[in-house]
């Protein structure tokens, strides 16, 4: 199991986060269910590297993830991102088969995605880019 999948499982168990989603299952890995509605999360693992020591690898790893918080308005996307950030920034513990040791917020980015061509409907996205140190 990748750390990205472990983070999805972890986030699905957090009621302050799932209470802001369309359904508690609206947290996806890499891509969304196209039939789903607004207010969802997409967790994408960008890369993973082992920590190296003079004697070889240490068993610890680090991974960079994007957590896209998508909603029908900027305040809703930001509220979802705030809930995720509030939970994950100080988290240390189990995430699937891995144990998270530290989470670092690298960046918070904002996007606006049109829904279809020639429409005034948009998806508002607030992306949290995090580095997770785990073993």
Domains of the chain in sequence order: 3-134 (3.30.2000.30)
The string of pLDDT tens digits covering residues 60-77 is: 899 999 999 999 999 999
pLDDT the model gives residue 58? 66
Residue 54 makes CB contacts below 8 A (sequence gap 6+) with none
Taking the C-alpha atoms of residue 106 and residue 102, their distance in angstroms, rounded to an integer, is 13
pTM, to two decimals = 0.89
Q: Identify whether the C-beta of residue 73 lies closer than 8 Å to the C-beta of residue 7.
A: no
Percent of the chain scored above 70 by pLDDT? 91
Percent of the chain scored above 90 by pLDDT? 67
């Amino acid at each position: 199991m990748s750390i990205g999948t472990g983070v999805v499982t972890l986030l699905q168990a957090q009621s302050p986060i799932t209470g802001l989603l369309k359904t508690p299952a609206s947290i996806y890995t890499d891509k969304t269910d196209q039939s789903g509605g607004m207010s969802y999360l997409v967790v994408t693992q960008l890369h993973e590297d082992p920590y190296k020591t003079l004697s070889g690898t240490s068993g610890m790893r680090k991974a960079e993830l994007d957590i896209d918080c998508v909603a029908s308005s900027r305040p809703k996307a930001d509220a979802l991102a705030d809930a995720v950030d509030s939970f994950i920034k100080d988290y240390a513990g189990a995430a699937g088969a891995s144990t998270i040791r530290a989470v670092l917020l690298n960046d918070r980015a904002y996007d606006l995605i049109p829904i279809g061509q020639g429409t005034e409907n948009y998806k508002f996205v607030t992306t949290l880019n995090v580095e997770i140190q785990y073993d």
